[in-house]
Amino acid sequence: EPEVTQTPSHQVTQMGQEVILRCVPISNHLYFYWYRQILGQKVEFLVSFYNNEISEKSEIFDDQFSVERPDGSNFTLKIRSTKLEDSAMYFCASELAGVEEQYFGPGTRLTVT
Amino acid sequence: RKEVEQDPGPFNVPEGATVAFNCTYSNSASQSFFWYRQDCRKEPKLLMSVYSSGNEDGRFTAQLNRASQYISLLIRDSKLSDSATYLCVVIKGSQGNLIFGKGTKLSVKP
């Protein structure tokens, strides 16, 4: 069964450093998402991406965040200058057009020290 | 008011019990509704979509009441493997981004 994959599974970084979280969505899916979940909190929407551009972004997705689909398979989330409060689990999800069922990757646990 | 509200639990039930979870949402423009399941430190996985007419999938039954902005999930004949956090999720408008509740934790005991 096709699945969304994410790397790395765990990333530890120092405050102020840049991180790139990588996702490989399911191959025929057209909509891509990033969500995050701070430990003990709810899953929160960050950004959606379709047709090589951002469709929608939340208040969390400020200028420190960017997304890219550089090569038609990878979908990346970059945090330019990490803060302690960026520590969370980051989930990538993808969706086949029009069916609303989003498939989540296993997540990247980001720890900012 | 939170966009999606759920009783956090935990619900501790014996195997074989029937358990019901409720959820309310604040935005009447919400268009699509789901229950997801999340195991500890894992990704959310879609359990079922929720339709106005109600829908059933094996031991699981979901109901939607648009007038009351209320969604429910009923689990019959609980199994140990049902232990997880159940997330109520809505989509507002046409953008597709999921709005999650904080989840209700279920623990099924032998």
Q: Tell me the chain B residues in contact with residue A45 when contact means C-beta distances shorter than 8 Å.
A: 97-99
Whose tokens are 């991406």? That residue is: A49
Mean pLDDT of B22-44: 92
Which amino acid is residue B23, in one-letter code? C
Strands annotated E in chain B: 4-6, 11-14, 19-25, 30-38, 44-50, 55-57, 60-65, 70-75, 84-92, 98-100, 104-109
Q: CA A30 to CA A50: how far, in whole Å?
A: 6
The answer to whether B98 contacts A43, with C-beta atoms less than 8 Å apart, is yes
Largest CA distance in chain B: 43
- Which pLDDT score, from 0 to 100, does residue B93 have? 67
The whole-number pLDDT of residue A69 equals 92
Determine, for residues A100 and B32 on separate chains, whether the beta-carbon distance falls below 8 Å.
yes
Q: B101 to chain A: which residues are within 8 Å by CB?
A: 42
Q: How many CB atoms lie within 10 A of CB B94?
A: 9
Q: What does the pLDDT read at residue B11?
A: 95
Geometric angle at alpha carbon B19, from B10 and B51, rounded to 5°: 110
**B contacts of A95 (beta carbons < 8 Å):** 96
| Confidence band for B19, pLDDT divided at 50, 70 and 90 | very high
DSSP A105: P
Q: Is the pLDDT of residue B94 over 80?
A: no
pLDDT tens figures, B58-79: 999 999 999 999 999 999 999 9
Are A107 and B97 within 8 A, CB to CB?
A: no
The per-residue pLDDT string of chain A (113 residues; one tens digit each, 9 = 90 and over) reads 789 999 999 999 999 999 999 999 999 899 999 999 999 999 999 999 998 999 999 999 999 999 999 887 899 999 999 999 999 999 999 999 877 789 999 999 999 99
Chain B closest-CA separation from residue A47 CA (Å)? 8
Look at A45 and B46 and tell me if their CB atoms are within 8 Å. no
3-state secondary structure of B44: strand
Is residue A86 a contact partner of residue A14, using CB atoms and an 8 Å limit? no
